[in-house]
Amino acid sequence: MKHGFIKLGAAVPDTKIAAPRKNAAEICRLIDKAYGEGVHVLAFPELSITGYTCGDLFLSDALLDGAEEALRTVVDHTAGKKMLVFVGCPLRAGDRLYNCAVAVSDGEILGVTPKAAIPNYAEFYEARHFASGAGTEAMTVRLGRGDEIVYLPLSSDVYRCQEVPDLAVGAEICEDLWVTGSPSEKLAAEGATVIVNLSASNETVGKDAYRRTLVKAASGKDVAAYVYCDAGMGESSTDAVFSGHCLIASNGVILAENEPFGGAELTTAIVDVRHLAHDRRKMNTWKGSAGGAPSFSLTLGETDLAGVIDPRPFIPHEDADRRAVCSRILDIQAHGLAKRIRAAHAATCVIGLSGGLDSTLALIASVRAMDLLGRDRRDIHALTMPCFGTTDRTRSNAEMLAQSYGVRFSMVDIKEAVDVHFRDIGHDPENRSVVYENAQARERTQILMDIANAENGLVIGTGDLSELALGWATYNGDHMSNYGVNGGIPKTLIRYVVAFVADTDGDERTPDGKTRGEILRDILATPVSPELLPPKEGEIAQKTEDLVGPYDLHDFFLYHHVRWGETPDKMRREALAAFDGQFDAETVDKWLAVFLRRFRTQQFKRSALPDGPKVGSVALSPRGDWRMPSDADAD
């Protein structure tokens, strides 16, 4: 629960029709199970106290009296349990009967929410028995007998957790989700970050997919977590069959789902309510507040995050999703660059092709842009500019890759020019300081810019999102270009995009017989390096991740810091859970400190970025995505 992590649950009891006492015992059993698993908010199906398909038995006082007694059994059973539970129960108010979601916590009823949308179609003719709860805020339900009678108002309250202010819970019932103007929209506007739906939705062919779409869309539209709890197989076999299909979604993403007819009695997922509150603040959409709402209490503790936190948040899990993302990224890059080429009336695209990952992707994007424009690929001029740290492997891969795409290729050795520059400024070449390294980067940029001027072209930038976050670029060197096609893509994702191209467009052969796919895979296998220091025994001597840290960690920190505005202690906790067995606490602490220091101190480089396409929700453009003072305190 610390840091906003809340465990949500949907419980499907083995319902006995019109047997409230038996159902109460089953509900209490599942409450104990969920409580033992650390669930904080638990939902049961619609009318779970009696069963949904009681038909005209709902007109029987015996059933309704028994339902109230069973409800009291459930309420009493929660005493001493710091959790919020929603059970479904038919309750009388005046001369009407209402289908209600009863909020229970620690032996008390917090509130009663009546179902607003009452269906009246063939298999669910609820209007025969139940009244709509719309507009009933002034009404009360009566529970108990004699001296034990209590009156509870019908309401659509939002229940706020005392210990976790960002946890606020509202309830709606089945059909309420399926209609326009659903109660969940109003609940979210009033501050609810979690919506529970107590449902009894019969199963028909294709309905599970439609239900899934509704839940996913509702959670995204409301920027909320949504717990959908469906009646199970014990509910009926008359005219409607129920599958116990439960779903838990958060902000447009399905987090957990049981298989219809799979028999699962408890479905759980952990959500981060701070993330939901963060997005609402950023969107500035929710003007309402849940202040003054009924409250409940939870026992403070650390929710177990094992297996919950994704170590690579920029990369989709499923192969099909990854392929779709990679394809769309290439589309965005190519169309953005094509527009810039047209707007600038550029005759060429000039690229510094090092044989590394980033410049490889920039070349691929440039080729696709020229193809979109119907232009000759020789309008792309790729240059490799070897110097003190260049290895034969990267230089050879750069040349072969250019050949495989049919672009113009040139080699400009910059050693002599850099040596002359060292003499001009009085720098000893044996002094391998930042001057030694940055002089090479700036010489390369100067060559690219001058050739672009000579050819009426655009210099295509190669730097990626991860490098921008860390400031891992030479100011006015590789930091600068006319258009930065990779600036929205983190390093960990670039690997997958290049691998996707190797798999889908890798058959073309070079004159020496190598396929493009073989070249791309060798580039993928090459250590990431700026190649600014002399090689050792022909091998790359300067490996970026040895110097600045693992990109797996830095991209993880980047996502959580920029996307969610998280605190360092929360990022540390999440990283330890996500990379358990890969990075120990000392390593995480070391590189988290490096990330935070570099991210704060390197904004001046990001403030002077060239244009480039945004591809995801995390972006650092100073024009529209990340505005930060360059003199922010790094401590």
231 touches 201 (CB < 8 A): yes
349 and 211 in a common domain: no
For the segment 321-350, the average pLDDT, to the nearest whole number, is: 97
Residue 286: the pLDDT is 57
Q: Do residues 284 and 335 both lie within one domain?
A: no
Q: What pLDDT does 527 receive?
A: 85
Instruction: Give 389-410 pLDDT, tens digit per residue.
Output: 888 899 999 999 999 999 999 9
Per the structure, how many domains does the chain have? 2
Both 19 and 125 in a single domain?
A: yes
pLDDT of residue 147: 62
Put the strands of the sheet holding 108-114 in their side by side order.
Answer: 108-114, 96-105, 84-93, 41-43, 5-11, 266-272
Mean pLDDT, to the nearest integer, of 288-307? 79
Residues 262 and 343 in one domain: no
What's the whole-number average pLDDT of the chain? 92
Confidence of residue 289 (pLDDT cuts 50, 70, 90): low
pLDDT at 320: 93
Range(s) of the domain holding residue 127 = 2-296
Averaged pLDDT, 490-507:
96
Burial of 88-112, coded b for 16+ CB within 10 Å and e otherwise, reads bbbbbbeebbbbbbbbbbbeebbbb
Same domain, 357 and 258: no
What are the pLDDT digits (tens) for 59-109?
999 999 999 999 999 999 999 999 999 999 999 988 899 999 999 999 999
Residues 268 and 335 in one domain: no
Whether 138 maps to a domain, the answer reads yes
Q: 291 pLDDT exceeds 60?
A: no
The answer to the question of residue 633 being in a domain is: no
Shared domain for 345 and 238, answered yes or no, is: no
Same domain, 272 and 329: no
Rounded to 5 degrees, what are φ and ψ at 113?
-110, 115
The residues that are catalytic are 46, 115, 174
- Domain assignment of residue 489, yes or no: yes
Residue 564 counted as domain residue? no
From the list 96, 159, 150, 95, the residue with the least C-alpha distance to 126 is 96
Whether residues 460 and 357 fall in one domain: yes
Query: Residues 272, 196: one domain?
Result: yes
Look up the CATH number of the domain holding residue 98.
Answer: 3.60.110.10
Long-range contacts from 147-154, C-beta under 8 angstroms, 24+ separation: 152/109, 152/111, 152/112, 153/111, 153/112, 154/93, 154/98, 154/100, 154/112, 154/113, 154/114
Point out which residues pair with 411 in neighbouring strands. 384
* % of residues, the chain, pLDDT over 70: 96
Is 576 among the domain residues?
Answer: no
Q: Can you give the CATH number for the domain in which 330 is found?
A: 3.40.50.620
The two three-digit tokens of residue 314, written as one number: 């920029």
Residues, the chain: 635
pLDDT at 528: 84
Is 515 within a domain?
yes
Instruction: Confirm whether 153 is domain-assigned.
Output: yes
Which tokens in the block code for residue 565?
């505005």
Domain co-membership, 91 together with 135: yes
Q: How confident is the model at residue 588 (pLDDT cuts 50, 70, 90)?
A: very high
Whether residue 220 is found in the same domain as residue 337:
no
The whole-number average pLDDT for the span 433-449 is 96
Mapping DSSP to helix (H, G, I), strand (E, B) and coil, where does residue 355 land? coil
For residue 271, being part of any structural domain is answered with: yes
Amino acid letter, residue 115: K
